[in-house]
Structure 1
């Protein structure tokens, strides 16, 4: 039995929460996966997993063993990277993920500049508005906008992003003056329907210090910011977006920010990577190159 393979399979089963989910992720037949874990348990002489029809969980022995597995596999990966020279000089492949529009506008130009300086590094940029799992998809680093859940990953904050509400001037001219977030309940709105959005818009109430959640009635619902911005420019209604998503339209005069004094708290932007005692030079170089440039670009948004 390939002990390292079995360890990797065990970790994936626990991370995925079930054998069937892990089977799909690993592209390994379910009976094969189950047999490998059983063989590992037999070889160790202990049960690692509690298996029921509804739930899968680690035994006490399983908790200790899986932590040891993670350390061992990390050491093996580091040893292989060292053998390839990735710890001695910046070289190898990097997989980076970022939100679609932010990645296209801000991350891609930095990567192009980075590649011109590091000829031995290749980059794969995955643009997605879903939070790609760094472990399951073998991603080295992610740019995340929003508050991060507790995790073992390392986060480097590179700035904070405004959340703004805006509409076209013709739309605003055709409707009563908007003085409060509660006025939005009577107006046409354009909402986003993604895994990262909520059904309401949040606003800070400066007089009370409280946060108001406004249940809007959208005239139009879309699943990407580009479409929402275009619809707002064409007078369909009001939209709430991250500042970078509408900055170009605002600079051109196509959209106007409203309800400035009610803006919710800014949300953080991070560079995120998996926990590691030592970073390969390719990741260290990318992190050191990208962090100050993203900080500068995000700071410029607030001016």
Structure 2
């Protein structure tokens, strides 16, 4: 079972090595990188490339580790007991299985995505150490132990919003998705916008990388944002000449697809203002 990428996802050599190493070691793959560099999409493509079902657990700031195992609905059981419902005699009727439980009980190996783990409380990763390490957990309400029938391929993403505990990191295989170089980005663009004219692509990517390298930029545009930008350029049937900028107009065309906060827009407006002053 080896991941070699898919037709719809350009996986670099170091990324495929990381995925296959995690599969071989049977350890979670912890993937970090800038937002928009394809971390979440990686899990979907690993599942597609290996022909496996994928389960997705999206983490929020309020998510607790227990929710990934199961939740016991004591309120519903109390209400049913007051109504004389016979379902109350079996506590299993009030246990909702979490994504880890679903992955553990699957008859075939699955890909389990734990997306944006750094959004949760700092104790969240530590609360999953035992379950991810031993691939089992105890259900106190029923007294049973749930053990994985097939060890799932676990992919965990993080945007580096907070540091993860050392004990958790030690149990993972780590990979950082670097922002793609120009050649790799061209391959990614070809997957999403096949047949785009070379002159337009060259001009657009030149502007894009110049924008990313601008000193003082608060949020650099990512892969997903340049793909959105190119989609707009194609929809507007723009030419390389339409994209030409001078110092007077520093903002790129349709810049709302690339710049996501007012500080960065103001930065380029100031650059344009300074360029106009120098021309006088």
The TM-score range, normalised by the shorter chain, is under 0.3
TM-score, normalised with respect to structure 1? 0.22
| Higher percent of residues as strand | 1
What TM-score do the two structures reach when normalised by structure 2? 0.24
